[in-house]
Amino acid sequence: MDNRIQIDIVTGLPDLLGGFIEESIVGIARKKGIVELTVHNLRDFGVGKHRQIDDYPYGGGSGMVLMAEPIFRCLESIGVKPNTEGTDREEVIFLTPDGQRFDQKTANALTMKHRLVLIAGHYKGIDQRVRDYFVTKEISIGDYVLSGGELAAAVVVDAVCRLMPGVLGDSMSALSDSFQDDTLDAPAYTRPASFREMDVPEVLLSGDHRRIHDWRESMRMDKTRERRPDLLDL
């Protein structure tokens, strides 16, 4: 199976993503050729001499709505098919507060796709016709509203990239993250063993891998029970 993934981000504010795609895990994934990530500037597909990409909503009300035409033109230019003709290897995602709540299981599922196309809305969102015609999944990163979908797109991309085989130096690291098995992660310590009279738990210095594993599992359960008991009810 091909362990690479193609990711396209459609946005009217590409500069918001400039540093993000070059640094840290996403940058490593791109340099290794595991992730091919392209940011598409919606202004390049804007309407008229001013490259307009938004307009007032029909029916009145405050705010502006991203127009259908620039988004259609952009998506068609990169070979995105209507959702009725798409395949299970491609996901066209709209980042929106009224979407499905993003979680680790969704991130894991997205790594199985060959291509992700993320549409970052702005202002009051996008013309519904884009959602009806192209979008296969709508995702929310939380119950709050951002100025635009760029930050949400960055969250999804980062979560997916770190799960791709070969991206992290330690291939087991992502498997022990919070939420991978519906529990939160255990406390982590590094050198020195004693700092300002605060000591690393003795078990972590013991070299006894079974005891260490049991301690971490116990800590994971205790933390989950205290902070996110809802996860244990799943």
Within 10 Å of residue 160's Cβ, how many Cβ atoms? 25
Q: Answer whether residue 178 shows pLDDT above 60.
A: no
Mean pLDDT of the chain: 92
The percentage of the chain sitting over the pLDDT mark of 70, rounded to a whole number, equals: 94
Q: In this structure, are 34 and 145 located in the same domain?
A: yes
Q: In this structure, are 43 and 81 located in the same domain?
A: yes
pLDDT, position 175: 54
Asked if residue 170 belongs to a domain, the reply is no
Taking the CA atoms of residue 71, residue 13, residue 19 and residue 155 in that order, the dihedral angle to the nearest 10 degrees is: -60
Asked if residue 169 belongs to a domain, the reply is no
CATH number for 149: 3.40.1280.10
Asked if residue 168 belongs to a domain, the reply is no
- Per-residue CA distances from 100 to 96, 140, 143 (Å): 9, 6, 11
pLDDT, position 177: 58
Q: Answer whether residue 181 shows pLDDT above 90.
A: no
Domains of the chain: total: 2
Domain end, chosen from 113, 131, 161, is at 161
Asked if residue 172 belongs to a domain, the reply is no
Q: In this structure, are 146 and 193 located in the same domain?
A: no
Q: In this structure, are 99 and 67 located in the same domain?
A: yes
Q: In this structure, are 136 and 199 located in the same domain?
A: no
Asked if residue 81 belongs to a domain, the reply is yes
DSSP designation for 223: H
Q: Answer whether residue 234 shows pLDDT above 80.
A: no
Inter-residue contact 114 to 89 (CB < 8 Å): yes
Asked if residue 150 belongs to a domain, the reply is yes
CATH number for 198: 1.10.1270.20
pLDDT, position 102: 97
Asked if residue 44 belongs to a domain, the reply is yes
Cα separation, 27 vs 25, whole angstroms: 5
Inter-residue contact 161 to 26 (CB < 8 Å): yes
Inter-residue contact 168 to 174 (CB < 8 Å): yes
Q: In this structure, are 157 and 116 located in the same domain?
A: yes
Tell me the residue range of the domain where 148 lies. 5-161
Q: Answer whether residue 120 shows pLDDT above 80.
A: yes
- 123 Cβ neighbours under 8 A, 6+ residues apart: 54, 63, 64, 65, 66, 148
**Sequence-ordered strand ranges (E) for the chain:** 5-11, 35-41, 54-55, 65-66, 90-101, 115-120, 137-140, 194-195, 198-199
Q: In this structure, are 72 and 132 located in the same domain?
A: yes
Each residue of 27-78: pLDDT tens digit? 999 999 999 999 999 999 999 999 999 999 999 988 899 999 999 999 999 9
Q: In this structure, are 9 and 49 located in the same domain?
A: yes
The predicted model scores a pTM of 0.88
What is the mean predicted confidence (pLDDT) over 178-190?
A: 82
Which has the closest alpha carbon to 161: 9, 16, 12, 10?
9
pLDDT, position 211: 97
Q: Answer whether residue 170 shows pLDDT above 70.
A: no
Domain end, chosen from 161, 191, 213, is at 161
Which has the closest alpha carbon to 147: 8, 43, 16?
16
Asked if residue 91 belongs to a domain, the reply is yes
